[in-house]
Amino acid sequence: MSMTTAGGELAVCREVSVVHGSGETRVVALREVDLRLRAGERVGLWGRSGSGKTTLLHVLGGLVTPTGGEVTWRGERLSSLDAAARGRTRSRGIAYVFQGANLLPTFTAYENVAFAAHVSGSAESAGELLELVGLAAKLDALPAELSGGEAQRVALARALAQRPSMLLCDEPTGHLDSDTGTRVLDLIDALQRRFGFAQITATHDPDVAARFERVIALHDGSIGGEERFT
């Protein structure tokens, strides 16, 4: 299994803004954000709650259409595509890991991963992927029978089943204790080194941000530059 992508730009945001509501209920989630992400790089996206991190991840993944500006994925303008076309674009290389594992509750670990592979048109083996994340003994376990760390490892295997060129992680350790969270982050890093996908991790935790050489800081929907946490 190889997911390595040749160098070059994967995703680009140009003056991207996202506004929700109008009048007194108007909320600006992103303000004219410019961002370039290259194949294979690891980037931390740091900011406090409400700073726009999740919205930016959703924009990068084609889940949210910008109110202004444009987003391109491998040179293709996402904002000009309809919802079905954006879905096809995501299936060609973008996967998510959320704060909660968000597994299908009536599917076993194996079935959760196999379903993701089927939907994305991938031929990846669910069993091999679960073995890769250390869960070969949990193939038949339902999500309710898994610990938080185990469930998040299933979510990682599910993301790998989509053969991503870019993995978007939204507070992936937010529901875990610090030791379990560190092990999950170590696993994500090991998988990134092995397969070479770009990794974008949103976090409010300076200790998590410190794992990345490039950290983009978000403040009230605007990029405030690049931070260093040392």
CATH code for the domain of 175: 3.40.50.300
* pLDDT of the residue at 219: 95
Range of the domain at 219: 40-65+81-227
Does 179 reside within a domain? yes
Amino acid identity for residue 13 in this structure: C
What pLDDT, on a 0 to 100 scale, did the predictor assign at position 207?
A: 94
Q: Is residue 114 part of a domain?
A: yes
Query: Is residue 31, in this structure, part of any structural domain at all?
Result: no
Asked if 40 and 8 count as a contact pair (C-beta separation under 8 A), the reply is no
11 is a domain residue? no
Q: With respect to residue 27, please indicate whether it lies within any of the assigned structural domains.
A: no
What three-state secondary structure class fits 214? strand
What is the reported pLDDT for 3?
A: 53
Is-above-0.95 flag for pTM?
no
Give the number of domains in the chain. 1
**17 within a domain of the structure (yes/no):** no
Which pLDDT value is given to residue 23? 85
Inside any domain, residue 16: no
Q: Could you read off the pLDDT tens digit of each residue along the chain, which spans 230 residues?
A: 545 544 689 999 999 999 999 888 899 999 999 999 999 999 999 999 999 999 999 999 988 999 999 999 988 887 554 455 545 545 568 999 998 889 999 999 999 999 999 998 888 999 999 999 999 999 999 999 999 999 999 999 999 999 999 999 999 998 899 999 999 999 999 999 999 999 999 999 999 999 998 999 999 999 986 666 65
**Token pair for 23:** 């009048």
Place of tokens 């909320």: 27
- Alpha-carbon distance values, 164 to 2, 13, 167 (Å): 10, 19, 6
Q: In what order do the strands lie in the sheet with 76-77?
A: 27-38, 9-20, 68-73, 76-77
- 70 lies in a domain? no
